[in-house]
Amino acid sequence: AQRVADGQGNAAPKRATRSVADIVRANVFTRINAILGVLLLIVLATGSAINGLFGLLIVANSVIGMVQEIRAKQTLDRLAILGQAKPLVRRASGARSLPPEEVVRDDVIELGPGDQVVVDGVIVEEHNLEIDESLLTGEADPIVKDTGDAVMSGSFVVAGAGAYRATSVGSESCAARLAEEASKFTLVNSELRNGINRILQFVTYLLVPAGLLTIYTQLFTTHAGWRRSVLRTVGALVPMVPEGLVLMTSIAFAVGVVRLGQRRCLVKELPAIEGLARVDVVCTDKTGTLTESGMRVRDVEELAAPSETVAEILAALAAADARPNASMQAIAETYDRPPDWIATASAPFTSSTKWSGVSYRGHGNWVIGAPDVLLDPASAAAQRAERIGSQGLRVLLLGAAEDAVDHPGAPGRVRAVALVVLEQKVRPDARATLEYFAAQGVSVKVLSGDNAVSVGAVAGELGLRGETMDARRLPADDRALADALESHTTFGRVRPDQKRAIVHALQARGHSVAMTGDGVNDVLALKDADIGVAMG
């Protein structure tokens, strides 16, 4: 309680969607509603309510936008509540789950597979701990964490266990700083809406002299009474207001929202429908957008004939791993029928050894890990693994060890048995989506925090043409950056601020840019793009 009072709590400012009052205000206080509202009040002042039925257009124009935006707000708010993690925090009374806002600086927070890091901190305990930082950096591969390493809020544990001490909480945390920069609300730029507003602005200036001239004619030329003169004047002015154009535009937008909703898309603003139709460049993240989380076995290249089948060995190793990392999870998914071998010893994967293994009674000692660690880097198998790895693939060596895996000198001499080639999981619909964009004349730029070789490999698998570039070589000059974007399609090692700069450079060349992403590292670009598409 004292630390909370001292400002060391994790109560970051809430970054909610627009309030209902803001949504109502934006949809009610519009130029066309102001014009029609003034004319309606004039009619009502005459006591002839029946002639004010055109006021229903005010209700229709307002309700269509309000209903959609309030529904979108409610859905997003519910998703925000569902996405809240409850960390396991060590206190004097023991470890207990607490809401993130109750975490304070110097709290020790336990981590296990699937847990989210809720504040920035430093690792104080680790047991083969691997952290997925793809939401923050775009780096697809899990990061092995040792004691003393920093962890950032917004990352997830994919393997192992450990604990970290909170160092940056509340608005000081990495995720909160990015959210702060992206928190300002901006309207979607709509050329159609802007054009209608210009027409309405012109009509507004025209209505005043036209109204004065009409009522003068009615009063002093035709000598009609003031009520009849006012009603005739309003009757002449209302058709000058393009209320039908505004209403039909809102209806067309609403139909588009409904159709996108049928495809499980949530639209926050009606004019986003028009912006989506104008997009000619799509900037997309790789991790979580073109690819799914996790790895899959692409190929197993046998190098020698083992005493047991390679499938049996891999299935046995995967089944024996109590805390599998992403690679072993992929192997377990492919080889899911382990033999009933009896394990006599096991060695878990660590960041220092870079291999794991199991000894079995009557079935030998088997290890799996980095080829350049288990073998002589100059050996044919290690060089073959290096060539495969240069294509953006992950390669593990399956080997038969001379010593038991719990032997002090383990693994000892290792005989290469097979190379296990892993790749990132590609979304089933990714290729079809890219082909659709190509058919529509929409360019696609892949912006990823992952290494350029890996990004290029995924892009090539999906049939995306164009050269790959390491974003660390991108020029800082806006014009040179735009030139580089014209000649390259895929970019690796892209920082969050570079993603935003890329969006700005494309917009400066006259492009209408859509940005898709699913992580905190994408929010700055999502915010500044003409259309931001958040993947969930």
Give the residue extent of every domain in the chain.
Answer: 2-81+187-262, 88-181, 279-290+428-534, 293-426
Q: How far apart, in whole angstroms, are the C-alpha atoms of residue 69 and residue 20?
A: 9
CATH match of 88-181 with 3.90.45.10: no
Instruction: For 307-359, write each residue's pLDDT tens digit.
Output: 789 999 999 999 998 878 888 999 999 999 999 999 999 998 877 788 999 99
Q: How far apart, in whole angstroms, are the C-alpha atoms of residue 113 and residue 355?
A: 20
Token pair of 160 as six digits: 């192992």
Beta strand ranges found along 388-496 (DSSP E): 394-401, 414-426, 443-447, 467-470, 488-492
Instruction: For 160-191, write each residue's pLDDT tens digit.
Output: 889 999 998 887 877 777 666 655 566 677 88
Token pair of 145 as six digits: 């964490």
The reported pTM is: 0.74
Confidence grade of residue 523 (pLDDT, cut at 50, 70, 90): confident
CA distance between the termini of the chain: 36
| Active-site annotation, residues | 285
Say what the pLDDT of residue 82 is: 45
Q: Identify residue 351 by its one-letter amino acid code.
A: S
CATH match of 293-426 with 3.10.450.50: no
| Fold of the domain built from segment(s) 279-290+428-534 | Rossmann fold (3.40.50)
Instruction: For 403-422, write each residue's pLDDT tens digit.
Output: 999 998 889 999 999 999 99
Percent of the chain whose pLDDT exceeds 90: 36
The pLDDT of residue 518 is above 80: no
- Is 125:147 a contact under the CB 8 Å cutoff? yes
